[in-house]
Structure 1
Amino acid sequence: MNCLILDDDKNFSLKLKKDVEKFLDNIFSKYSIDIINENFNNIANYAKCNLIFVDIDLKESNGIDLVKKLQLLESNATIIYISSRQEFVFSSLSTTPFYFVRKQNYDGDIKDVFKLLKHYYEKTEKIITFDYYGRKTSIFLRDIHYIVSYGHDISIVTDNEIYTYRSTLKDIIEFIGSNIIVRVQKAYAVSLMFIKEVNGMNIILKDNTMIPMGKSYNKIFMIKYREYLIS
């Protein structure tokens, strides 16, 4: 989970960061929160962020314009506007934000945001929660690249980290309970969302990892993959 705060008010940014840390700490074991207080126009740097808090009325830039440019990069970031100027609420709707936090009503609005975000992550964005070194850990289903089995251990390979713990491939696939994760050989299961191409009996992932497919898994895999492509 990568979070970004864009606001030219440094004191407010730090307060918001502390509140966001408390919220994310109850959901994710790994996350980052960056603050930018100036030079806001490096849009490409924001593209991989999952959650962005942006002040609309920035001294150097217009927050809505920044978000529009970001969305042209096909970013899937959840956008939450923050502003002391409530008259911007309607103009912000053109970018379909998740919420609009009024700075003058910050305490109440931020509590509402966190309740809605938690519900959103649980229902809209499927989250996988498991025990990892004695602590509950959560990851997005969409962040999983593939899962590999090593004897009695499995490794879940994601965008930012590899989670290795004791389980079987069969058990973790059943635990995740999604048609997106498909077994392709005895030791590997892949995320259909992360496949770049299928070349014969080889599956090429978006990071160019190549995973050979087992013959006994080919038929079922191809059925599920075609269903995924047309869904």
Structure 2
Amino acid sequence: MDICIVDDDFEFCQKLKKDLIIYLSEKTDYLNFEIQSSHFNEMNFQKKYHLIFIDIDLLQDNGIDIAQKMLQNNPTSYLVFISSHSSLVFDTLITQPFFFIRKSIYKKDFQSFINLLMEKLKNHQLLHLNYKYTQAVVPISSIIYIEIEVHKLSIHTYNGIYYDNRSLKAIQKILNHEFVQVHKSFLVHLSEVKAIKSQEVIMKNEKVLSIGRSYKEQFKERYKTFLRL
């Protein structure tokens, strides 16, 4: 899980990181933290994260503005605002945050956040990926489709493209019934299918994938069943 903490209080960043490790290490064996406590204008807003924590009232910057920039490339991330000023909670609603942690009652709010996050993660299984000594974790619900390439899988999600060493057949055994093979090279997430043409499937991100002749009938039947659920 990739986590970003944006706060000009470095000691608080370290405390938050420590607390997150305690709870999230039970959920995943991959936790990657990036802490930004200064030079906010030099941040890489293209980077993908699963969890984003941002202090609203930074010394020289507006945390809400930073959040809006980050959300452009992280539309499915869990955004959590942090502040010493409880009155600012209403200003954050424009970004539709997942939670708001008040530093004045940090322990109480953090525990409430963890309880809510754990409940969410129960309904959003995580897929652990490994490619060339690089590990990553993606929510299965965020996967649009999976493509087999030379010696690797490309997992296309709304947070970017991830890679894995396994075969398409091996990864399909791990995934739930919403994933169906439509071609020797493609495995699609049925909930991300926008339309089906004669020999093509159009995904909700407008990606057009070919349907293999030997997979066509089974795919259409599975999709019809899925729509009736």
TM-score (norm 2): 0.70
The question of whether the paired residues in 2 share the 8 Å contact of 1:127 and 1:138 is answered with no
Cα drift, residue 57 of structure 1: 0.8
Question: Are 1:146 and 2:146 matched, yes or no?
Answer: yes
Q: 3-state DSSP class of the match of 1:79?
A: strand
Q: Which amino acid aligns with 1:220?
A: Q
Tell me how large the CA RMSD over aligned residues is.
Answer: 4.3
Q: Which amino acid aligns with 1:177?
A: N
Cα drift, residue 160 of structure 1: 3.7
Change in Cα spacing, 1:157 to 1:31, as seen in structure 2 (3 Å) is farther
Q: 3-state DSSP class of the match of 1:105?
A: helix
Change in Cα spacing, 1:30 to 1:212, as seen in structure 2 (3 Å) is farther
Which residue matches 1:34? 34
Question: Are 1:65 and 2:70 matched, yes or no?
Answer: no
The question of whether the paired residues in 2 share the 8 Å contact of 1:39 and 1:60 is answered with no
Q: Which amino acid aligns with 2:118?
A: K
Which residue matches 1:183? 181
Which residue matches 1:151? none
Q: 3-state DSSP class of the match of 2:215?
A: helix
Q: Which amino acid aligns with 1:91?
A: D
Q: Which amino acid aligns with 2:7?
A: D
- Percent of aligned positions with the same letter in both sequences? 28
Cα drift, residue 93 of structure 1: 1.9
| Total equivalences in the alignment | 216
Which residue matches 1:112? 112
Change in Cα spacing, 1:144 to 1:75, as seen in structure 2 (3 Å) is closer
Q: 3-state DSSP class of the match of 1:113?
A: helix
Q: 3-state DSSP class of the match of 1:146?
A: strand
Question: Are 1:98 and 2:71 matched, yes or no?
Answer: no
Structure 1 regions of 5+ residues with no counterpart?
149-154
The question of whether the paired residues in 1 share the 8 Å contact of 2:147 and 2:186 is answered with yes
Which residue matches 1:162? 164
Structure 2 regions of 5+ residues with no counterpart?
131-135, 156-160
Q: Which amino acid aligns with 1:78?
A: Y
Cα drift, residue 139 of structure 1: 4.4
Q: Which amino acid aligns with 1:109?
A: D
